[in-house]
């Protein structure tokens, strides 16, 4: 099986959403349709990063890390040019 950890940027409030799924295409569709409670009012959303894993535990651990302060800072640093192009305030 395959697993994904992904980062969405809300173009409305310029905040991240970090998630985990085994079906990235379907999950992004759910976000876009407003079917995900935590992002429903933060649309539109843009996929800015994703990572692929073959081990579920590794993917979940990565999601937890990225949701930590250090992990969020790592994403901001890795994607600083992308974030600047999208008008992210902290870029």
Residue segments in the chain with a per-residue pLDDT below the cut of 50 = 91
Contacts of 63 (CB under 8 A, 6+ apart): 5, 18, 19, 20
All structural domains of the chain: 3-85 (3.40.1440.10)
Q: What is the pLDDT of residue 90?
A: 67
Say how far apart CA 79 and CA 58 lie, in whole Å.
22
Joined together, the tokens standing for residue 34 give 């407003």
């Amino acid at each position: 099986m395959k697993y994904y950890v992904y980062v969405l940027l809300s173009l409305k409030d310029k905040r991240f959403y970090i998630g985990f799924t085994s079906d990235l295409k379907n999950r992004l569709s759910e976000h876009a349709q407003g079917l995900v409670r935590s992002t429903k009012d933060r649309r539109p959303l843009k996929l800015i990063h994703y990572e692929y894993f073959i081990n579920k535990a590794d993917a979940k651990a990565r999601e937890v890390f990225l949701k930590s302060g250090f992990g969020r800072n790592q994403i901001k640093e890795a994607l600083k040019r992308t974030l600047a192009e999208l008008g992210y305030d902290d870029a």
